[in-house]
A and B are shown apart, each in its own frame.
Chain A
Amino acid sequence: MQVVNTPIQENEKLNAKSDKVAREKPKTDPINGSHANVGETVGKPFAKHPKMTMRNVDVFYGDKQAIYDVSLDIGKHEVVAMIGPSGCGKSTFLRCLNRMNDTIDICKVKGEIKLEELDVYHPKQDVVPLRARVGMVFQKPNPFPKSIYDNVAYGPRIHGLFERKTDLDEIVENSLRRASLWEEVKDRLHSPGTGLSGGQQQRLCIARTIAVSPEVILMDEPCSALDPIATAKIEELIAELSKKFTIAIVTHSMQQAARVSHRTAYFHMGKLVEVNDTKRVFTNPQHKLTEAYITGRFG
């Protein structure tokens, strides 16, 4: 089993070259600048032991391009945070990783996205096994209007992950424990999941996701609808989960990115501007746009 921090240290050498590229700063005002000013991604977009690799990804909504030539790795057991102003394409990008964008007819994805050796966008790739390996937690807690038990059991049921009822009970209990919800709900497993508080609902959604034992968990602003206490709980949970899962999280809160992630990717107008160790991004950003964003000059 790998230690959590190693991939980041190993990434240093790999990304050394792209660090130099970053020195060529754009000349015009970056804040009001167009795509031309963003230039190449600076920092360390690549990981030594990548779980997911994205190369030259372009995403189009009809004629409109939403993502421009993004290349990024997510390392094993790494938490990568994606930040950026509204409409910068970070959620769109995240939803490419388990092909949730397939539900939008006009959405077209170009480039290469791989989950280890699996080509995510291969025409013959079925989304069902893919999504079983890449789970997702959404912005708004969205438990099914069913019991807590059935919510967690749904994934194992549709994928046939158990043979006996007791096995399922075990999966449900373990998942709820790992989502640190078990103690709160163990006496009312059969009451509706929609009756829980917002924070509990979101943890239920996390439990539901990990019940399928995915390898990667995508989180799309998982705390934006929650109060600070619930947020703190989810953040603790993310740290805990990263021991077992690879996590990509989109967030609006820079503090959250700073607290939970190992690496942070800054998106701007559909381009990946800078990726680096989280500490470095927040203390010593290389790109002017990143600096402008984290110092609160726009967002």
Chain B
Amino acid sequence: MTNSNGTLSTAEKVNKSLQKRYRAEKRFRAYGISAIAFGLLCLVVLFTDIISKGHSAFFQTYVKLDITFDPTEMGVDDPTDANQLATADYDSLIRNALKEQFPEASGRRDRRALYAVVSNGAAFTLREQLKENPQLLNQTVPMWMLADDDIDTYVKHRDDAQGDTFAGRISEKQMGWVDTLIDNNQVESRFNTTFFTSGDSREPEQAGILGALVGSLLTLVVTILLSFPIGVAAAVYLEEYAPQNKFTDFIEVNINNLAAVPSIIFGLLGLAIFIGFFEMQRSLPLVGGLVLTLMTLPTIIISSRAAIKAVPPSVRDAALGLGASKMQMVLHHVLPLAMPGMLTGAIIGFAQALGETAPLLMIGMVAFVVDIPGAITDPATALPVQIFLWSDSPERAFVERTSAAIMVLLAFLISMNTLAIWLRRRLERRW
């Protein structure tokens, strides 16, 4: 309908534009959905890649050999002497067992290739076995030996490469021996407990994540214990006590800038101050924790300030109006109400700290550490650094261990966040 002038009425104009608006609305929603879809896709690709590469690291190949605990071969003349048993030559037992099964390997090179089927860490298992069961001496028993990483890789990929069998670094002859072992049911795949119970090793089959996990945990404990109280105290002072002047503005600008400083700079700072000036040792979780504290502090201060700002002023007025001192107001009212928000910020900071590699490289937490650290003053490495180290290793078995370590890191991260979210929920429930 048109009015007398022949122009459209308002209602008609609105109706005309309505279709256009609906389309715009739909497009707008589609942008959001596609953004989420893109994010999910990336996540799926990432997880599929990591899990498909890494899941095999949770299994380890073992080889069954008939071991004869021959004292003369081991160089033991007094079986009651624990010291002799500890230093005995267990490697020769494994060698003998292999020689016996594959007598055709006669040359020096063949022999060496044959011995390489079993991990050079297998001798330690024998020693432990004998220590626990001394009656094994002079007996021949079938024992499961840890296979070498190349054999492990070959066994794992033997079936999935059609036609062209994946050989990796092993020779034709080794392949033949392994095939024989498999046909004799002398090869078994077991859950890789070593991966979760030992520290790093040059031999992939003996390498584990526990050292790095404990190192990360210790570093994170230092970080949490230092950065959260310091960050909250700084935020409370800046929000509740500091006068509004040029000096506090200056501090605020600097905190915001610090949050954007690349983490490696903090590593250099830690290197110069903690190791250079205070002469602390390298590779310590204590130093790592201090450096990560410096790195997370700005994040925690900024988010804590935001959380404190969000506490309604009416609550402050109520407390002050009743005659509460400023400290009572902060402790009784502001902090409990701001705590969930502060925790959220802290979680982000700690997650960042857990995944941080660069500053740890600077303070020497990149060292090859075999022992599992027991204190914050023991040399250690951290999960992300361990991933970095393994990803750099040429052995194929380290490829799957790298992915497995990433999974462990992600699991650690997720459980830490879950804990923090649970904690936040609990605090929020106190209305």
Contact = CB atoms under 8 A, between A and B. Distances in A.
Given A132-B323, A142-B317, 8 more contacts: A128-B323, A135-B321, A138-B314, A142-B315, A154-B332, A192-B431, A208-B318, A208-B322
Contact of B321 (A100, A145, A192): A100
Which 6 A-B pairs have CB atoms at the shortest separation, nearest pair first? A142-B314, A131-B323, A136-B321, A132-B323, A155-B322, A142-B318
Nearest to B324: A158
Given A105-B244, A138-B314, A145-B337, A158 B322 contact: yes
26 contacts: A98-B321, A103-B316, A105-B243, A105-B244, A131-B322, A132-B322, A132-B323, A135-B321, A136-B317, A138-B321, A142-B312, A143-B318, A144-B315, A145-B315, A145-B430, A146-B431, A154-B324, A154-B332, A155-B323, A158-B322, A158-B324, A158-B328, A159-B323, A192-B431, A194-B431, A205-B318
Interface string B413-431: 0000000000000000011
A212 B319 CA distance: 12
Interface in B297-324: 312, 314-324
Interface of B: 243-244, 312, 314-325, 328, 332-333, 337, 430-431
Contacts of B314: 138, 140, 142
Nearest to B317: A138
Nearest to A131: B323
A128 B332 CA distance: 16
B333 A144 contact: yes
A158 B324 CA distance: 7
Contact of A100 (B315, B317, B328, B430): B317
A251 interface: no
Contacts of B328: 158
Nearest to B243: A105
Nearest to B322: A155
A105 B245 CA distance: 10
Among B243, B321, B328, B430, residue most surrounded by chain A Cβ atoms (within 10 Å): B321
Contacts of A128: 323-325
Contacts of A123: none
Nearest to A106: B244
Contacts of A138: 314, 317-318, 321
The residue among A143, A144, A159, A208 with the most chain B CB atoms within 10 A of its own CB is A144
A209 interface: yes
A179 to B, nearest CB: 14
A129 B324 CA distance: 9
Nearest to B312: A142
Interface string A140-173: 1011111000000011001100000000000000
A145 to B, nearest CB: 5
A146 B431 CA distance: 7
Given A105-B244, A192-B431, A100 B337 contact: no
Interface string A78-105: 0000000000000000000010100101
A209 B321 contact: yes
Interface in A94-137: 98, 100, 103, 105, 127-132, 135-136
A154 B322 contact: yes
Contacts of A130: 323
A154 B321 CA distance: 12
B400 to A, nearest CB: 51
A192 B314 CA distance: 17
A131 B431 contact: no
A254 B315 CA distance: 28
Contact of A131 (B244, B320, B332, B333): B320
A146 B318 CA distance: 13
A103 B323 contact: no
Nearest to B316: A103
Contacts of B312: 142
Contacts of A146: 431
B156 to A, nearest CB: 58
The winner among A136, A159, A192, A194 for most chain B CB atoms within 10 A is A136
A131 to B, nearest CB: 4
A252 B319 CA distance: 25
A144 B318 CA distance: 8
A105 B317 CA distance: 15
B338 to A, nearest CB: 12
A242 B307 CA distance: 40
A58 B328 CA distance: 30
B317 to A, nearest CB: 6
A143 B322 CA distance: 12
A117 B174 CA distance: 102
B374 to A, nearest CB: 44
A129 B318 contact: no
Contacts of A158: 322-325, 328, 332
Given A105-B244, A158-B328, A131 B315 contact: no
A209 B322 contact: yes
Contacts of B337: 145
A194 B430 CA distance: 12
A131 B315 CA distance: 16
A157 to B, nearest CB: 9
A245 to B, nearest CB: 15
Nearest to A133: B323
A135 B318 contact: no
Interface string A48-63: 0000000000000000
A105 B243 CA distance: 7
Contacts of B333: 144
B315 to A, nearest CB: 6
